[in-house]
Amino acid sequence: YFIHIIGVVLRPSWLRKFQVIQEEYDYIRILIAPSISFEEAYRFLQQEKANLEEKVRAVMGNECRLNIELVEDIFPSSGKFRYTLSKVVKDA
């Protein structure tokens, strides 16, 4: 869902890379590595933030906490780039 929504539907022209990390059941971090300066990317992000938050909460619920971070780069984990990561530990 997130790959399609961010990478295809919303796909801002200033987006170089992104990664969605589920830190907790109700907490999502989205890392964005822009293809433009941070200052310009921040302005664009402010314009598109509400739409992105709406799309995330549509599947995660309105109580979901969301943090969107601009970063210099996103590095591969375990040898390959992952668009989504979940750090939620499932109870045994």
**13-72 pLDDT, tens digit each:** 888 899 999 999 999 999 999 999 999 999 988 988 898 899 999 999 999 999 999 999
Whether the CB-CB separation of 37 and 43 falls below 8 Å is answered with no
Nearest to 32, CA basis, from 45, 51, 50 = 45
Sheet containing 84-86: order of strands: 65-70, 27-34, 15-24, 84-86
Q: What is the pLDDT of residue 34?
A: 92
Whether the CB-CB separation of 41 and 51 falls below 8 Å is answered with no
Name the pTM for this structure. Answer: 0.85
Query: What DSSP element (H or E) covers 55?
Result: helix 38-60
- 3-state SS class at 84: strand
